[in-house]
Structure 1
Amino acid sequence: MNDTVSNRIVNSVFQVLVDGSKQNYIGEKISQLEHSLQAAAQAREANADDETVLAALLHDIGQFATSADQKQMICDASELTELDPTATKTPGYNATISVGVTGHERIGAEYLRKLGFSEKVAQLVESHVPVKRYLTGKDNTYYDGLSGASKLSLKYQGGPFTPNQVKAFEQDPLFHLKIQVRKWDDAAKVVGLQVPDLESYRAMAVKHLMDQAVSVRSA
């Protein structure tokens, strides 16, 4: 894979994020793109490696890299008010709403794999929902800190892990890193926070794709 091909892939991925930012981020007062950039900025500030930074940036890509008929997690909007009275009201608020795409973490991981991103990036992207299930199963107070939309989507995502699932998840070699990515995800909802823009990650993403292509050829 050369520089031209890598840039073309990055262009398509970045466009997915930009287009996705035009949609409402249910229950939050920032855009989905702002959320992704805040998560990535935290990873970079923590001196995380490039794969982890890219995973933080792209963790929600599966919400948008889908077909128009992708199954949504449909809830009664009144439930969102009950769980989070501060949630932003929108036209049609008393109707049903979507709190995300079913299995978006798996969709996003597979999408990135097919484009040539590393298995580590894919696994970190794929983990952010299981980590939510792990943390709600491990610590009851974690659930209380979730947004209304995140609480609603948890029901569709399988609910909190059981004690046995908690123990099994803790054996994952990437366990601690997966937890950290989720923490950045949770904290990336600050209104008005100024962080580096999307283009600031281009060189990192292009280099990553080119390095992966060389690694595959050498295997």
Structure 2
Amino acid sequence: MKITLFFIAFLTCYTSYSQDANKVLILIKEESSQLEFMLENEALKMSEMLENSGFEVTTATVTGKRLHVGSVSFIPDLKLNQVNIDDYDGFIIPCMIVDKTAEETVSFVKNVVKSNKPIAAQVASVYLLAEAGALKGKKYALYSDQSAKSAFEGSVYAGKGVVKDGNIITSGGCPWAEHKNRGKDRTTELTQAFINMVKAH
């Protein structure tokens, strides 16, 4: 049943939108060390909130391949290199607990930032924004101050919550952090802030 519900949530996203619906992309990092947990508790929650707000949701991974782990089976809509940034009104990147991100993903985020469209990132994906140079001169949220790291040079640490600076929203807490008693899960708060930003953009 869990597999079926997860499948439906992602694969029926086109059926209930008007042509005027905001289109957003969720970038799923398939190399996550806690893939099943984070798909269920972070990515799916984001997708459901976005769809319930009337957004048209598309998912992408670097390979575009079917992911199957434990009780979860998921087929992304697109490979990352098939994504046309101009087609979307905003981009959101779950934490997904990834230590190192593919260079293709960093390059993609750089192009999103150049487009000046809303982008939201949570925990591990805040590092992705930093690697892409998106946080220079910006306030950001994370579980701790990362100013000593070269990627965060010129950025300003603003706490563990959800922080908005320009078209960028960051969050310092994810489901896995809360699961391990390392802080509050900010998924709902981050996604709602992203929804508000896209609608106002």
Instruction: Please report the TM-score for the alignment, with normalisation by the length of structure 1.
Output: 0.28
Higher-Rg structure is: 1
Higher strand share: 2
Instruction: Please report the TM-score for the alignment, with normalisation by the length of structure 2.
Output: 0.30
Between the two structures, name the one with larger relative contact order (CA 8 Å, sep ≥ 6).
1
